[in-house]
Amino acid sequence: MKSSYSNSRTRVVLICLLLFGFIDNGGASTESGEQESKHPEAHEVPKHTTGPNCWIDKQPTADLLAYIPGTAAFPSNFSTEDILHHVGRPHFVNITESYYSCVDGRYRAGIVATAGGDAAEFLLALNIAQRNGLTMNQFVVTGLFNDYLEFVGPFRQFYMHTDMHAWENVTGTLGLHGVTEDYVLDPPDEMKERLLNMLCKPQGIGCGHLKAIVNDPVTSMTPGNLTTWFMTAFFQYMWNQDAVRLAEDKKLKYVVLEGNHKETAVIEIYKTGCPGLAPAVASDTEENSFFVHHAAATKVLRESLAEFMIRKYPISLNLTVENFLDQSEAIGGIQLQNTLAKLAKGLPFYSVHIQGEQIQNWHAVIGLMLFCSLAWILGGIFSIIVWRYPKGSIELETINRIIGEGSTTTVAAVSIIIYPLFGFIGLVMWLTMSWTLMIDFILAAVFFSISCLAILRISSSCNIRTVHAIADKSMFEGFLVAYQTSLVASLVGCSPLLIMITVMRLFWEAAEGVITFGFGASIVLLLLRIGGSIFAAATQTSYQKMRVENDAENRLNDTDSPDLTFSPQFSSPKSASPNVPRNISGLSPTVPRNNSLVVPGINRATSSRSFDSVGSNSSRISSTTSQDGSPLPRREYPREVNYDSVAILQCVGDVVDNAMGLTLEVSDSILLSLVSALAIGTSMYSVDGMALPFWLLAVGMTSSVTSSILVLISLCIFCRNSNTTTIFRWMRAGWVLSSITYLALAAAVNFLLHFNTQLYGCIVIGHCSRIVMIVMAEITTSKNIKGEGDLDSSDRAQIHTIKEEETHLLGLLLKALLIGMSSSLTPVFIVFIVLLSTGYLAGQFGISIAVLSMMATENTSMCYNAVSSVFSASRRVAEMTCQGPSVIDKCISLESLGHRCASVVKFFSTGSSALVSFSLFVAVAYRAGPDSVDLMKDPQVLPGLVLGAMVPFLFSSLTMMTLSQVAKSITARASFEDAAAASTTRKSHKKVAAWAVYTSMVNLLIPTTFAIAIPVSIYVIFGEEVLIGFIGGALLSGSVMSSTLVNTGAYFAETENFLSTSLMEAGGPSINVLTKFCCMVALMSTMDGAWRFFVVLMSVCFLGMVVSYAIRKLRKKYGWNYKTSMTFMKLVDAEEWNQEEKPPEEEPKVERDDHFVELTL
Shared-domain flag, residues 418 and 457:
yes
DSSP H helical segments within 618-723, as ranges? 645-654, 663-684, 691-718
Q: Which of 671, 65, 666, 5 is nearest to 299 (CA)?
A: 5
Higher per-residue pLDDT: 872 or 836: 836
One-letter amino acid of 662 = L
Instruction: Tell me if 288 is assigned to some domain.
Output: yes
Higher per-residue pLDDT: 700 or 1000: 700
Distances 884 to 787, 815, 1124 between C-alpha atoms, Å: 29, 41, 43
Instruction: Tell me if 899 is assigned to some domain.
Output: yes
Shared-domain flag, residues 995 and 1079:
yes
Q: Do 84 and 352 touch, CB atoms closer than 8 A?
A: yes
Does the pLDDT value for residue 201 go beyond 80?
Answer: yes
Q: For residue 991, what pLDDT is reported? A: 61
Lowest mean pLDDT among 43-52, 812-821, 1043-1052, 1120-1129: 43-52
Does the pLDDT value for residue 610 go beyond 50?
Answer: no
Q: Do 95 and 687 touch, CB atoms closer than 8 A?
A: no
Beta bridge partners of 688: none
Query: Phi and psi at residue 111, in whole multiples of 5°?
Result: -135, 155
What value does the mean pLDDT take over residues 1031-1041? 81
Distance CA 500, CA 439 (A): 12
3-state secondary structure of 932: coil
Does the pLDDT value for residue 521 go beyond 60?
Answer: yes
> Where residue 366 falls among pLDDT bands split at 50, 70, 90?
low
Higher per-residue pLDDT: 731 or 1055: 731
Shared-domain flag, residues 285 and 402:
no
Shared-domain flag, residues 128 and 172:
yes
Q: Do 574 and 581 touch, CB atoms closer than 8 A?
A: yes
Measured in whole angstroms, the distance separating CA 506 from the mean position of its chain's CA atoms is 20
Beta bridge partners of 625: 631
> Where residue 632 falls among pLDDT bands split at 50, 70, 90?
very low
Lowest mean pLDDT among 20-24, 393-397, 1104-1108: 20-24
Helices (H) and strands (E) in the chain, counts: 35, 12
Lowest mean pLDDT among 305-309, 728-732, 813-817: 813-817
Residues 687-712, buried b or exposed e (16+ Cβ, 10 A)? bbbbbbbbbbbbbbbbbbbbbbebbb
Shared-domain flag, residues 400 and 339:
no
Q: Which of 317, 334, 358 is the last residue of a domain?
A: 358
What value does the mean pLDDT take over residues 769-782? 72
Task: Return left, alpha or beta for 1137; rule: phi > 0 is left, psi -120 to 50 is alpha, else beta.
Answer: beta
Q: For residue 600, what pLDDT is reported? A: 31
Shared-domain flag, residues 379 and 329:
no
> Where residue 225 falls among pLDDT bands split at 50, 70, 90?
confident
Does the pLDDT value for residue 711 go beyond 70?
Answer: yes
DSSP H helical segments within 930-1023, as ranges? 941-971, 973-981, 986-1022
What value does the mean pLDDT take over residues 474-493? 76
Shared-domain flag, residues 325 and 389:
no
Higher per-residue pLDDT: 144 or 528: 144
Distance CA 350, CA 68 (A): 11
Shared-domain flag, residues 163 and 221:
yes
Domain count for the chain:
2
Does the pLDDT value for residue 244 go beyond 70?
Answer: no
Lowest mean pLDDT among 599-613, 660-674, 1068-1082: 599-613
Instruction: Tell me if 618 is assigned to some domain.
Output: no
pLDDT digits (tens, 9 = 90+) for 62-110: 777 777 776 666 666 777 777 777 777 676 777 776 788 887 777 777 7
Q: For residue 603, what pLDDT is reported? A: 32
Q: For residue 954, what pLDDT is reported? A: 81
In degrees, rounded to 5, the angle at the alpha carbon of residue 941 between the alpha carbons of residues 940 and 944 is 95
Q: Do 978 and 635 touch, CB atoms closer than 8 A?
A: no
Instruction: Tell me if 1055 is assigned to some domain.
Output: yes
Lowest mean pLDDT among 375-379, 441-445, 479-483: 375-379
Q: For residue 1119, what pLDDT is reported? A: 53
Shared-domain flag, residues 347 and 386:
no
Instruction: Tell me if 921 is assigned to some domain.
Output: yes
Shared-domain flag, residues 428 and 533:
yes
Lowest mean pLDDT among 593-607, 660-674, 918-932, 964-978: 593-607
> Where residue 390 falls among pLDDT bands split at 50, 70, 90?
low
Residues 6+ apart with CB under 8 A from 758: 841, 842, 846
Distance CA 1060, CA 137 (A): 64
Shared-domain flag, residues 1108 and 981:
yes
Instruction: Tell me if 627 is assigned to some domain.
Output: no
> Where residue 539 falls among pLDDT bands split at 50, 70, 90?
low
Residues 479-511, buried b or exposed e (16+ Cβ, 10 A)? bbbbbbbbbbbbbbbbbbbbbbbbebbeebbeb
Instruction: Tell me if 625 is assigned to some domain.
Output: no
Instruction: Tell me if 1085 is assigned to some domain.
Output: yes
pLDDT digits (tens, 9 = 90+) for 988-1025: 555 666 666 666 666 777 777 777 777 877 877 887 77
Does the pLDDT value for residue 1149 go beyond 70?
Answer: no
Q: For residue 462, what pLDDT is reported? A: 73
pLDDT digits (tens, 9 = 90+) for 316-327: 777 888 888 888
pTM beyond 0.85: no
Q: For residue 840, what pLDDT is reported? A: 79
Q: Which of 1025, 1075, 1067 is nearest to 1045 (CA)?
A: 1067
> Where residue 613 falls among pLDDT bands split at 50, 70, 90?
very low
Measured in whole angstroms, the distance separating CA 963 from the mean position of its chain's CA atoms is 28
What value does the mean pLDDT take over residues 676-705? 70
Q: For residue 580, what pLDDT is reported? A: 33
Q: For residue 86, what pLDDT is reported? A: 73
Q: Which of 314, 335, 358 is the last residue of a domain?
A: 358
Which structural domain range is residue 312 located in? 11-358
Instruction: Write out the H or E segment, with its range, that includes residue 1082.
Output: helix 1068-1085
Q: Which of 324, 358, 392 is the last residue of a domain?
A: 358
**For residue 46, what is the DSSP state?**
P
Mean pLDDT over each residue of the chain, to the nearest integer: 67
Shared-domain flag, residues 1019 and 1042:
yes
> Where residue 618 falls among pLDDT bands split at 50, 70, 90?
very low
